[in-house]
Structure 1
Amino acid sequence: MYENTLTQIGLDGQQALIYEVLLKNGPLPASKISQKSPFKRPLTYKILEELQDVGLVEKREDPGKVAVFHPLHPQKLGELLDEKIKKAEQAKYALGSVIGQLTSDFNLISGKPGVQFFEGPAGVEKVIFDNLTSKTEILSYLDMGALDKYIPEINQRYIAARKRLGIKKRNLVNDTPENRERLAGYHRDITEVRLMKFADSSIHFASMIQIYDDKISYFTLDPERMIGVIIQDKNIVDMHRQLYLYTWQFAKPLPGQDTPTTPPTAIAAGPRTESQA
């Protein structure tokens, strides 16, 4: 009668059947429980021990008498359900932390571009920090105001990590008075910035693109829908890299930053000084 419900809550079929026997018949010794179930006595004892462990059965044994097993209050089933929900949430979080890479691996072996999708601030952080493994210079389109507004702490940790690793980067940034002020006086040893005029400089995209190795990543910082995507595909990345370099030619260097720029290359060891995102 209750077996289906009890198994949905978290008991297995054998546990559900024995617990139901006790609920309907009251306290019984193991021999009687075995007779009222399809299980032999050794298995019945094992199931009763499992039910004791989860708090649904209590064993009472008076001196000189056979042990009797008592069913405990069904309210305990609510606690078991809460625990099951908690474990399911933990499993969902664990899957969420690896599903992007699992999908990427699957797509790569099936000949499709590897695509990883992430959500929330933690997901965006994974997307940003992914390029710290880059063996090539990182090419970025940045909304510096959005970085400062929505993820300043994440960005500062990223800046410090990239500085320690000496990873070079180019940033294309909207040419606004605010961005020029942000960029004034920053160290440029491993970051080169150029300014470009958007058709409508009043628009803030709150999104960024980063090109590195054979990957391109996108992330948006809209607080209501913060997402990140990493695509791993050489053909797609080569196209975006060439488009970026073409745009770079027409962008304005910052004042004092007028040395010729060489094509993106593998990272070489060099001074590790403070830089911008």
Structure 2
Amino acid sequence: MIEEILRNVGLSDKEIEIYLSALKLGPQPASVLARSAGLNRTTTYAILETLFRKGLISQFIKAEIKYFSVISVDNLVSFVERKINDLRRTKTDLEILIPQIMSYINPESSKPRVVFLENLPGIKKLYKEIEICDAEIYTLFFFSPDTILQAKDEALEMKYEFLFKRLENNNCRTLIFADAKNVVEVRNYFRDRNINLEEYIKFIENISFPENLEVNVFLNKVFFVTYNESKLSAVILEDALISSAIKSVIEEVLKK
């Protein structure tokens, strides 16, 4: 039972042998611990150094001989807590680097990849990925002031919240489709939020665009989001050629 717990903590079998020997025998030279654990002295010294770096044992000199001893069993808990904190930091770093890691995929060697999302947490996670992406983001969006004023459910509120965050970051090239009758109101809505309307946003009037559809393009991904009856659904298409084509169309429209 004890060995299994120590193994789950992250110690190797040999580290466990040395640690338990030091625990049972108290302060001892490496030669005594090696004999107790059934290991050679060279291997034992290497393991003791590893356990010392992990903060699980201490070492001191007595009569010109180096002794090793377990500091405190409580240090096992501290060791686990440090590992948890390290993993959390690694997880955060990894989440930030995912878009860069994905950019290493060779688009010529793989077929277009399609992923379907129908749960809010999954879609929210992808919105977050877009938000922290360093690359430019291209968006097609139907915007209606009436719609946002009526946004009472979590799904629609999240959809608009992430749109504003992207626009405020000034790295989102966006085509906003709006009814001609309320385009002035829509422009004022964005100006009131100090969002740059000149370089990054172009309003498209009198073109039929589905009110419940949003399209985002970033890196080599095309992210389609549909909203229907208080429910968000999404399709992610990964393909360099398709994403590049949509980006080019949006760039051309923004120039006009």
Shared fold (TM-score greater than 0.5)? yes
Match in the other structure for 2:3: 3
**Highest Rg: 1 or 2?**
1
2:168 to 157, 166, 184: 157
Q: Is the 8 A contact 1:60 1:69 kept in 2?
A: yes
- SS of corresponding position for 1:105: coil
- How far apart, in 2, do the equivalents of 1:54 and 1:215 lie? 42
Match in the other structure for 2:13: 13
Match in the other structure for 2:185: 181
Q: Is the 8 A contact 1:30 1:68 kept in 2?
A: yes
Match in the other structure for 2:214: 208
* Bigger helix fraction: 2
The 3 A distance-change label for structure 1 pair 220 and 42 is: farther
The 3 A distance-change label for structure 1 pair 12 and 196 is: same
Q: Is the 8 A contact 2:135 2:218 kept in 1?
A: no
Match in the other structure for 1:70: 69
Match in the other structure for 1:218: 224
- How far apart, in 2, do the equivalents of 1:213 and 1:82 lie? 37
Q: Which amino acid aligns with 2:187?
A: L
Match in the other structure for 1:192: 203
Q: Is the 8 A contact 1:209 1:216 kept in 2?
A: yes
- How far apart, in 1, do the equivalents of 2:166 and 2:219 lie? 21
Q: Percent identity?
A: 19
The 3 A distance-change label for structure 1 pair 42 and 157 is: same
1:88 to partner: Cα distance? 2.6
1:70 to partner: Cα distance? 1.7
Match in the other structure for 2:85: 86
Deviations 1:209-267 (A, max 9, x none): 2469985323589xxx99976423489779x97xxxxxxxxxxxxxxxxxxxxx94864
Match in the other structure for 2:55: 55
Q: Is the 8 A contact 1:30 1:44 kept in 2?
A: yes
- How far apart, in 2, do the equivalents of 1:18 and 1:267 lie? 68
RMSD (Å) for aligned C-alpha atoms? 4.7
Match in the other structure for 1:30: 30
- How far apart, in 1, do the equivalents of 2:158 and 2:184 lie? 15
| TM-score (normalised: structure 1) | 0.59
The count of residues paired between Structure 1 and Structure 2 equals 228
Q: Is the 8 A contact 1:124 1:219 kept in 2?
A: no
The 3 A distance-change label for structure 1 pair 269 and 11 is: same
User: What are the ranges of 5 or more consecutive residues in structure 1 without an aligned counterpart?
Assistant: 133-137, 242-262, 272-277
User: What are the ranges of 5 or more consecutive residues in structure 2 without an aligned counterpart?
Assistant: 117-121, 149-156, 192-196
Q: Which amino acid aligns with 1:54?
A: K
1:12 to partner: Cα distance? 2.3
| TM-score (normalised: structure 2) | 0.63
